[in-house]
Amino acid sequence: MDYQQEKKQVRKELLNKRQNIPDEMYRQHSKMIAKLLLGQVEYKKARNIHCYVSMNDRKEVDTHLLLRHMLSSGKNVIVPVMHMDDVSLTHIQISRMNDLSPNDWGVPEPTIGRRVRVSKIDLVIVPMLGGDLQKNRIGYGKGFYDRFLSRVDCPKIGLTFDLGIVENGIPVEEYDVSLDKIITEKRVVE
């Protein structure tokens, strides 16, 4: 099986596992992951934090409470806007959660805010379907974040549930960007 086929299979398995997390466990584990993130030195030092806005209906690790916490604690919160035509992201600083509205694909994105250059970002909190103990991540396969992360010169921390950790490793290609840490409800992989 080639890398693409293998990745496709891993994605399918991880999506299935994630969708089957009971709602209460989903909420509890998301809070535990957020709490672990808040304790990380990279988070404490960062002023300008780029964070994905979770698609909770798809059971991504919930970042909504985390984003509210960041906003209320004086962090500059930067969220992505997806551009399907060239598979790129624009980075917009928001001042409140009400600045977000679902795009055509159901992803919450800012309707208002200031554009931020990648060089100004101090920390990136990365969405992921899963990862491995070598801090490789697997996303949805479009490459938005690999393109973005290849241009970032700051810590990159991925959030996933522990069931998303593939103990024997995930298939990696040359353009895949590894993370500095992966946080689950049970551990910090560093």
Threshold 0.85, pTM exceeds: yes
Pairwise CA distance, residues 37 & 31, whole Å: 10
Cβ–Cβ under 8 Å, residues 70 and 59: no
Q: pLDDT of 117-144, one tens digit each?
A: 999 999 999 999 999 999 999 998 788 8
Cβ–Cβ under 8 Å, residues 129 and 15: yes
Domains and CATH numbers, the chain: 3-189 (3.40.50.10420)
Q: pLDDT of 12-58, one tens digit each?
A: 999 999 999 999 999 999 999 999 999 999 999 999 999 999 999 99
Cβ–Cβ under 8 Å, residues 60 and 175: no
